[in-house]
Chains A and B, each alone.
Chain A
Amino acid sequence: MDWAALRVSLWLGAGTIAILLPVGIWFGRLLAIHQFRGKVLVEALVTVPLVLPPTVLGFYLLVMFGARSPLGQAFQSLVGQTLPFSFEGLLLASAIANIPFVVQPIQRGFEAIPSDVRDAAACCGLTPWQRFTRIEIPLAWPGILTAAILAFAHTLGEFGVVLMVGGNLPGETRTLSVAIYDRMQAFDDRSAGVMAATLLVIAVGTLMLTTTLSRRVGVRRG
């Protein structure tokens, strides 16, 4: 078991959620509540990472931010390292790849709130912030939680973009999924097997969690 790789994977998952949840809540809510021209296009754009092969994302990140690109060189002189081949670069790639997994469930969560209920909250004297925290979030939280769990599980499974953008650096960008591949190439099937089993357990565990949660919420609502 490559503990460093497990740590990288968990941090990547946590970091992706930390970045995407606020963005997702803001954006998912916006899409749920407002109608505007071009909304269909925006919703389609949000879904793009779902159908985009991870290698395409990896390619663009390397081309746009690698040491050979002007943007990458500027970044390097500003921060001291390139974006690809760093944990932070991986985080950016992971955040982009997970946008649909976060925005869509959250949007559905907010859409499920009848607009009447929001209006009634306003008529009860609640300010927009109070409406958000006392009425909307308590009603939309299953969507938010689903988004967090899905994004976390999906991040753990990322491989193509991690390999392309991360470079398999131990302790930095070598996630558990990449470590499995790495160990197999080193003819170390036993380690690979242990790690594969771990990822499997985590995957099944998160799915069980989402199912139990949605059932429990259903009961509360009646």
Chain B
Amino acid sequence: MLLVATTVVVGTGAGVSAQRPPTVAAAANLNFALTEIANQFKVDRGTSVEVVFGASGTLTRQIQDGAPFELFLAADEEFPNQLAKAGLTRDAGVVYAVGRLVIFAPNGSPLTVDERLNGLARVIKSGKAGRFAIANPDVAPYGKAAESVLRKRGLWDAIRPQLVLGDTIAQAAQFATTGNAMGGLVAYSLVLGPGFAERGKYAVIPESDHRPLRQRMVLLKRAGATATQFYDYLQGKTAKAILRKHGYGVPQ
């Protein structure tokens, strides 16, 4: 009986969504960068898009389940490729940015930051290690990269009991910066965001320590004109400058 009532409501309400601006799914590391680009897009082109941030894996799953996104900016290449293979995208898409990982420690933390994670090794050895935040490697590419960095430095097993996993890289950054953890491995683009400079210190992790965080975006099959416009805009000069400002590498 409930299902019948809902179907009636759906049938009559289906047209309403048509007027809304297109929804773009974006990996959480793009929080500041993409918001700025979308605002600039509105100024330059006069139309807008709505952005929903989440973990790439979660967003991929939602798209597979029918979520009405028109453009997907992932934090890696595997998730968009998965969607392309399933026939849900227009094409294979393009790499729009390359991300970087940083190790972050909030003010007052016993952890000292450096690109080789010596500070982390030291605090673990001292027995004074508190919680350490990374994104969930299953759904967030930045989390997967964090895991490979920790493994490379031989610290994965030792730090494992101390890990807190954020469902997205943004949540991991939250844990790392609010003093609930002694620090974490988070996205460079997030610590460059407003208000972060005063909260603690960070060191950028060398690219050679993990597989490159090549971030690919794809247009979904249902993408309309505005979404396509935005896709092109993201590959243009203005967008690239903004991405660079937020710590990303951009393809030439």
Contacts and interface: CB of A to CB of B under 8 A. Distances in A.
Direct contact of A and B (CB under 8 A): yes
Interface stretch (A35-43, A75-83, A116-124, A134-142): A75-83
A91 B12 CA distance: 14
A85 B52 contact: no
Contacts of B9: 15, 88, 91
A182 B170 CA distance: 10
B218 to A, nearest CB: 17
Interface residues of B, number: 35
A163 B3 CA distance: 20
B170 A92 contact: no
Interface in B8-33: 9-11, 13-14, 17, 20, 23, 28, 31
Given A82-B65, A95-B2, A96-B2, A186 B14 contact: no
A86 B10 contact: yes
Interface residues of A, number: 37
Given A19-B5, A88-B6, A186 B170 contact: yes
Contacts of B54: 168
B229 to A, nearest CB: 19
Contacts of B67: 82, 84-85, 167, 169
B136 interface: no
A85 B50 contact: no
A187 B53 contact: no
Interface of B: 1-3, 5-7, 9-11, 13-14, 17, 20, 23, 28, 31, 35, 50, 52-54, 62, 64-68, 168, 170-171, 173-174, 193-195
25 contacts: A19-B6, A23-B1, A66-B64, A66-B65, A67-B64, A72-B65, A72-B66, A79-B10, A81-B10, A84-B67, A85-B62, A85-B65, A85-B68, A86-B68, A88-B6, A88-B13, A92-B3, A96-B2, A167-B52, A168-B54, A169-B23, A170-B52, A187-B31, A187-B193, A187-B194
